[in-house]
Structure 1
Amino acid sequence: MAAEASENLMPIVSKLFCSSSLTAFVVRRRPHAINGGGLVVTDCSLQKVAFRVDGCGVLGAKGELVVRDGDGSSVLYINKKQGIIEAMSSCSKWNGHVMEVDGVKEKIFRLIDSKPFFARCNATKIYIEPKRINNKEYCFEVIGSFPQRNCIITAPKGIIVAQVGLKEMNGSKDLYSVVVHPGFDQAFVIGVIAILDYLNGESTAC
């Protein structure tokens, strides 16, 4: 049974962040006045920190994000592609990296989001590096409205990876839930959430 469970895991950042069971998190936005903004991700009891996200207010550079684990170690580096060509493009493009042992950053995914004034403004797609999944391009998609805290991240064939929703009995968009389905990489999901937060001018942006 253990071998079968391992085969069903889909690590993107690391298999350490994959669980064989449904996992629910609570995401809290840090105010810009406190540590420069960002996100804190805890378990449902709000007692154990699973991830932290440092935004540009902390890092001091626009278009850069860092996802850290509960111990504060950096697990995912995210940056927005810059330059004149990107500024004129109809899409915002982001890259996610992990740090290799030799200190080299290896790109593991790219997120492409259509800018609001273009027709496909709701299209947000995330492509995994082909060599990560059987040498084939693998595409996730964000469906729904992140600003309203009502969206899902899907894998090919409509498989649900994660769901974002308002936390029950709260109603504030500063505190919301993220449920990650079995087998999928939780650090990767939080990385996508961090980019969505930035794209919508929320806590990770500055």
Structure 2
Amino acid sequence: MKTYGAIVEEGFVYRRETHLTVRKTSLFFVGDGFAAYDSNGRLVFRVDSYGPDSRDSTKLVLMDAVGRCILTVRRKRPSLHQQWDGFAGERTGKKPLFNVRRSSIIGQSSMVVEVYRNAGEEYQIEGSFGCRKCTIFNAKREVVAEIRRKVDAYSNVVLGKDVFQLSLKPGFDGAFAMGLILILDQIYGSNYEHYD
């Protein structure tokens, strides 16, 4: 098993390939929140935000199943490249664990993720989050995680874009991957209907 190591928290680094089902927790407001479940239907992660102004949030908190804050992502302002920082826990005054930025300010483009804890460690996110079809690569261009539309196992029907799958390769940090989903949703979430 290749291990990449914890970026956010060791407890969310899985030994086997893991598939989480991620769903938006509200259909009333775009970006209200997320819940992620393991293959046994147990809650693993949640993000709660409320109200019609939640899309304008510059700070989001990822919690575990019991409500403990494990990661905070915050938008850097001003920023032409939509830059976001990720912080351990809920303190944002210290040095961030990682930074995410669009590689281009024009059109659909890839995202560059720089991890500060491990000097020089970078990831690339390619694809369309709006279509729920993204791949996360490490610096060696190895796939470490994927975001895909969820297919119902019984009816073989593709579910709506509010329910999708996060596939994690062995040894990749699931909390880090969920933090990236929060950022992608803030950057591209309101435009997802344009990428059908």
Larger deviation, residues 137-146 vs 183-192: 137-146
Partner letter of residue 154 of structure 1?
Answer: F
In 2, Cα distance between the equivalents of 1:125 and 1:56?
Answer: 29
Please report how far the alpha carbon of residue 57 of structure 1 lies from its aligned counterpart in structure 2 after TM superposition. 4.4
Matched, 1:174 2:148: no
Map of 1:200 onto structure 2:
188
2:122 alignment counterpart: 139
> Counterpart in 1 of 2:138?
155
- Give runs of aligned pairs for residues 8-87 of structure 1, distance below 5 A: 8-31=3-26, 33=28, 37-45=32-40, 47-55=41-49, 57=51, 62-83=57-78, 86=79
TM-score of the pair, normalised by structure 2: 0.83
Q: Percent identity?
A: 28
Match of 2:115 among 98, 118, 128: 128
Could you tell me whether the CA contact under 8 Å between 1:56 and 1:65 is conserved in 2? no
Cα distance in 2 for residues equivalent to 1:153 and 1:12: 15
Give the letter for the 1:162 counterpart: A
Q: CA RMSD in A?
A: 2.8
- Note if contact 1:32-1:57 (Cα within 8 Å) is conserved in structure 2: no
Contact preservation (8 Å) 2:146, 2:168: yes
Query: 1:55 & 1:199 partners in 2: Cα distance?
Result: 16
Give the number of equivalent residue pairs: 185
CA positional deviation for 1:105:
3.9
Q: CA deviation at 1:44?
A: 2.8
Alpha-carbon contact 2:37-2:45 (below 8 Å) kept: yes
Post-superposition Cα deviations, 1:88-120, rounded to whole Å, max 9, x if no partner, equal x3x1100000139x996441000001465x26x
Amino acid at match of 1:98: A
Q: Which sections of structure 1, spanning at least 5 residues, go unmatched?
A: none
- The structure in which a higher percent of residues are helix is 1
Contact 2:102 2:110 in 1 (8 A): yes
- 2:172 aligns with 184
**Structure 2 segments unaligned to the other structure (5+ residues):** 152-156, 191-196
- The secondary structure found in structure 1 opposite 2:127 is strand
